[in-house]
């Protein structure tokens, strides 16, 4: 086995995070022998009646627990996108910041991807709807219907990062062989 292949195996367990101020989706995907497997997925929910700072704390603590339990080798995080409501954009940025802090503190490398990039790679159309992304994720991972798009979006991020990592390793392998 090559050194590049060993690095790929080390990157195979990926945590995808779809940040949101009310619901933050997470999904953990593993790649074994070219096959994708869903390890875990769900949503991190703060209590709606709690203050926003308390919800940030709850998201951070829950994400820390997930990282401790599953020990992902990378975190794929959705990049911020343009929002018409400045308050919503600010809150989303704060949730992203908490997620990045928690991962960085746990020494988990962070990779960011835009929604368009994920949709293009997963569905083949950068303007695909959340229902289309969810359907493809379910088919790829052999999962039943999911209750929240946040879960399937997080799994899509993880799948994309696993595929991107595999491509990078293959390209390095070819360079070494030439």
Q: Do the Cβ atoms of 115 and 41 come closer than 8 Å? A: no
CA-to-CA separations, 71 to 65, 68, 101, in angstroms, rounded = 10, 6, 16
Concerning whether 78 is annotated as a catalytic residue, the answer is yes
Concerning whether 50 is annotated as a catalytic residue, the answer is no
Concerning whether 18 is annotated as a catalytic residue, the answer is yes
From the list 45, 131, 150, 175, the catalytic residue is: 150
Alpha-helical (H) ranges within the chain are: 3-10, 52-70, 86-105, 115-122, 130-141, 149-177
Q: For residues 133, 136, 137 and 138, what is the CA-based torsion angle, rounded to 10 degrees?
A: 120
From the list 69, 78, 117, 173, the catalytic residue is: 78
| Positions marked catalytic | 18, 78, 150
């Amino acid at each position: 086995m090559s050194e590049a292949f060993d690095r790929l195996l080390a990157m195979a367990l990926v945590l995808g995070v779809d940040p949101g101020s009310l619901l933050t989706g997470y999904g953990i995907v593993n790649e074994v022998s070219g096959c994708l497997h869903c390890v875990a997925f769900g949503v991190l929910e703060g209590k709606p009646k709690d203050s926003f700072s308390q919800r940030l704390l709850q998201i951070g603590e829950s994400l820390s627990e997930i990282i401790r339990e599953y020990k992902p080798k990378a975190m794929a995080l959705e990049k911020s996108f343009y929002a018409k409501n400045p308050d919503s954009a600010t809150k989303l940025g704060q949730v992203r910041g908490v997620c990045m802090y928690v991962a960085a503190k746990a020494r988990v490398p962070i990779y960011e991807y835009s929604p368009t990039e994920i949709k293009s790679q997963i569905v083949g159309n950068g303007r695909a709807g959340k229902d289309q992304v969810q359907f493809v994720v379910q088919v790829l991972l052999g999962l039943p219907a999911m209750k929240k798009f946040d879960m399937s979006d997080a799994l899509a991020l993880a799948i994309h990062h696993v595929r991107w990592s595999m491509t990078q390793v293959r390209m390095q392998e070819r360079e070494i062989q030439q």
